[in-house]
Amino acid sequence: MDLPIIAAQAKVDTGDTAWMLVATAMVLMMTPALGLFYTGLVRSKNSLNTFMMCIAAIPISVATWALIGYSLAFDGDGSLIGGLGHIGLQDVGFEPRDGTTIPHLVFMAFQATFCILTVALISGAVVERMRFGAFLVFAALWSVLVYAVLAHWAFGGGWLISGGTLDFAGGVPVEMGSGFGALAAALVVGARTGYGRQALLPHNGVYAVMGAGLLWFGWFGFNGGSGFGTGNAGVLAFVNTLLTPAFSLITWFALDLLRGRKVTAIGAATAIIVGCVLITPAGGFISPGWAMVLGAVGALPCYAVIVLRPRTRVDETLDVLAAHGIAGFTGILFIGFVAQFAWNDVADGLFYGNAAQLGDQALAALAAPVYAFVVTYVLLRVIGALMPLRASEDEEAQGMDVVLHGEEAYSSGEGAILVLPEADGRAEVPVTPT
Amino acid sequence: MKLVIGIVRPEKANDVLEALYRAEVRGVSMSRVQGHGGELDRVETYRGTTVKVGLAEKVRFEIAVSDPFVEPTIEALRAGARTGDVGDGKIFVVSLERAVRIRTGETDVEAVTPVGE
C-alpha cells in the first residue's frame, strides 16, 4: 500500500512546476521593482547609482548562489551550515527536489531569486554615499556568509527548521537578515553628509509608489510560491498576501491622519511593503482572519520605528530595519501565537494550545537578528580596512551618478559636446554648418 | 541700495541660506541655472556616445539690500558657498535704480527692508 504513495511523491507535477516557473520570474521582477522604489526615495543625483545597486545584486547573487551559496543553504541537514554537494550546481537536475514535486533546477532558481532580493534590500541602508565597487564586494560575500547561512537555518534543514521554527517564505533569511544587516551596514558606512542638518528628500514619489505596487505583485510569487506548488499552503499564502498588506495600508492611513492630519503617498508605499513582509513568514501557517489582524496590528511597531529612527544619528537611509527587520520579527513571533493546525497541517500556536511554538519562534526572532547584525558589521569592517567604503564629501556633493557611473538620470543634453570615439575622449566633433 | 547676485554650487545652497539667515538678510530669491566657470568638464558615456558636459548645475541667489547690508551679504555668500575648489561660483554687486514693494507701494530702501524690522 505504501509503495504507490512513495512513487507519487517522487514524481514531478506539471501543475506545480508551471506555477513555480511563473513564481520564480515574478520574484526576479521584485528586484528591479525594489530598485524603482529605492530610486524614488533618494535625491535625483543618486538615482542611477541607487537603481544600479539593485540591478548589480542580480548577477552577483546568481553567481555566488550557483557556485556555492545554494549548496551551503540546501545541501544536507547540518545544524549550522549545509554541505558542498551542490557546488557549481552539481547534481541539481530534473529530478524532483526532496519534499517537493518540482524539478530540483526550478527549486534552485526560485531560491536564487530570494537571495538576489535580499542582497538588493540591504543596499537601502547605504545609498547615496557607498562606493559601487565596495558594494559589489560586500554583496558577493554577504550573499554567502549571511544569506546562505540564514537560509540554511530556516529552510534548508538547519537548527531552526529542524527545531520546529516555522518560517514560510523567509522571515529569517530575507527580512530579518536584510533588516538587521542594514542597521549594521548603516553604522559602519556612516551617515550621509548633512544628515540630520539638511533635508535629504525623496525626489520622485511616483517611482516609490509604483515600485511598491510592482513589489506587491511580485510578492504573490514570493509567498505563493513558497508552498512549492499549488497545494493548500501556497494557496493560503497567496491569498494572505492580498489581505495583510491591505490591512497594513488601512492602519498606516489612520496613523498618518493621527500624526499629521494627511495621508501620505510615500507612507502608503511603505505600508504595502510592511504588509507584504509581515505575511512573508506567516503566509501558509495562519488563517485569513489572523492575516488581516496581522496586517492591522503588525504595522504599528514598524510605523513607530520609521518615526523614531530619523531622530537618531543612525542614517539607515531607506528604513530597511523598520520595513523588513521589524516587520519580519513581528511576523515570525505572530506565528507563535496564531498558527493553526486546521489551516496549515503542521502546528498550532499558543492561542490554539501549543505554547512551545511561541518558544521556537522567539528563538528565531532572537538568533537571526544577532547573526545578521554581527556578521554584517564584521564583514564591512574587514572590507573597509581593504578599500574605502564611501565616496568623499566632494563626490557625495556631486552625486554618485556622475562620479561613479559617468551618467545622469535626467540629462538634458544642454551644454554637452560630442566626443569622437577614435580620438580617445579628447577631440571634439567639429560643428558643421547645416 | 544694491542687488547682490551670487552664483554658487547647488549642494552649498543650504549653507548659504543658513549664513544669510545668521547675517539677518531676509529677502532672497533663488533659481537653478546652468553655467561654466572654468571647472573641468565632466565626461559622460551613454552606450556608444561619449560627451563632454561643459555646463554645471548652479544655484543663483538674487538679494536686494540697503547699503549697510551689502558687506554682510557678500560675506555670508562667501562663507556659505566656499569649498576652495574651482567652481565655487561668483558674486556680482550691481547698483539698483528703484525698488517697489508691490503690496504697499513702498519704494527703495523701505521696499528692500523686510517687514518687522
- How far apart CA A433 and CA A415 sit, in angstroms, is 18
- What CATH architecture applies to the domain B2-112? 2-Layer Sandwich (3.30)
pLDDT tens-digit profile of A315-369? Answer: 999 999 999 999 999 999 999 999 999 999 999 999 999 999 999 999 999 999 9
CB–CB of B49 and A414 under 8 A? no
CB–CB of B45 and A406 under 8 A? yes
Low-confidence ranges of chain A (pLDDT < 70): 1-9, 421-434
CA A39-A40-A43 angle, to 5 degrees, is 80
Low-confidence ranges of chain B (pLDDT < 50): none
Closest-CA distance, A49 to chain B, in angstroms, reads: 14
For chain B, the structural domain boundaries read 2-112
Residue A24: predicted pLDDT: 98
Q: Give every CB contact of residue A258 below 8 A, 6+ residues apart in sequence.
A: none
Give A48's contacts in chain B (Cβ within 8 Å).
none
Closest-CA distance, A416 to chain B, in angstroms, reads: 4
Residue A430: predicted pLDDT: 53
Residue A2: predicted pLDDT: 45
Residue A434: predicted pLDDT: 44
CB–CB of A397 and B9 under 8 A? yes
pLDDT tens-digit profile of A159-183? Answer: 999 999 999 999 999 999 999 999 9
pLDDT tens-digit profile of A191-237? Answer: 999 898 888 999 999 999 999 999 999 999 999 999 999 999 999 99
The grid cell for A268 is 502608503
CB–CB of A394 and B54 under 8 A? no
Give B42's contacts in chain A (Cβ within 8 Å).
402, 406
Q: Is B90 exposed, middle or buried (0-12, 13-18, 19+ CB in 10 A)?
A: middle
> How many angstroms from the chain centroid is the CA of residue A114?
7
Residue A427: predicted pLDDT: 55
Closest-CA distance, A129 to chain B, in angstroms, reads: 14
Q: Is B6 exposed, middle or buried (0-12, 13-18, 19+ CB in 10 A)?
A: buried
Question: Contact A26/A217 with Cβ under 8 angstroms?
Answer: yes
Q: Which domains does chain A have, with CATH numbers?
A: 11-395 (1.10.3430.10)
CB–CB of B52 and A416 under 8 A? yes
Residue B116: predicted pLDDT: 64
Helix, strand, coil share of chain A (percent; to 5) = 70, 5, 25
Question: Contact B6/B64 with Cβ under 8 angstroms?
Answer: no
